[in-house]
């Protein structure tokens, strides 16, 4: 697989997780005739959001290069740290929060749940950059 195909594969894996969550939401409604809470956090939704990109990272690591795990970890930590700093500085300067997290927050400036999302974004950017070079 070349770098362009890996980038497309990873982005499609993210879309696949989101589409799978939507399908399960519709199936839940068809089977139970009760609405699934669309705007509420559930661990099931979060699991399906992370499942396919996580599998894709492991697949790309095995087939292409295990450095992708380092990229994931670096971007996960760096993104979370920068999000925390931006939120903290904004509150200190403006006197109000730029955003708040209600689930598993880290001082209400970031969340433990956003850590893998930062890693996935970093992997996507890294794969796109490799495809463009």
Q: Tell me the average pLDDT of the chain.
A: 88
Place of tokens 């492991």: 58
Checking if the pLDDT of 126 tops 90, the result is yes
Mean pLDDT (whole number) for 118-133: 92
Buried b (16+ CB within 10 A) or exposed e, 75-109: bbeebbeebbeebbeeeeeeeeeeeebeeeebeeb
Place of tokens 């939507």: 22
For 14-61, the pLDDT digits (tens) are 888 888 878 877 887 788 877 656 667 778 778 878 888 999 999 999
Checking if the pLDDT of 123 tops 90, the result is yes
How big is the CA angle at 21 (ends 17 and 22), to the nearest 5 degrees?
Answer: 120
Pair 66, 54: CB distance under 8 Å? no
CA–CA gap between residue 94 and residue 89 (Å, rounded): 8
Place of tokens 């796109």: 128
105-106 vs 110-111, strand pairing mode: antiparallel
Cα distances (angstroms) measured from residue 26 to each of 2, 20, 49:
36, 10, 16
Would you mind telling me the total number of residues written for the chain in this entry? 133
pLDDT score, position 36: 58
pLDDT score, position 55: 92
């Amino acid at each position: 697989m070349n770098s362009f195909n890996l980038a497309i594969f990873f982005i499609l894996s993210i879309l696949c997780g989101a589409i799978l969550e939507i399908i399960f939401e519709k199936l839940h409604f068809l089977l139970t005739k009760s609405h699934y809470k669309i705007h509420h956090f559930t661990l099931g939704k979060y699991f399906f959001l992370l499942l396919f990109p996580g599998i894709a990272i492991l697949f790309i690591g095995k087939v292409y290069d295990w450095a992708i795990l380092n990229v994931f970890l670096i971007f996960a930590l760096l993104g979370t740290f920068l999000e925390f700093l931006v939120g903290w500085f904004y509150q200190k300067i403006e006197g109000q929060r730029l955003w708040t997290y209600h689930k598993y927050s880290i001082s209400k400036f970031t969340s433990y749940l956003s850590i893998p999302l930062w890693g996935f974004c970093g992997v996507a950017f890294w794969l796109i950059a490799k495809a463009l070079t």
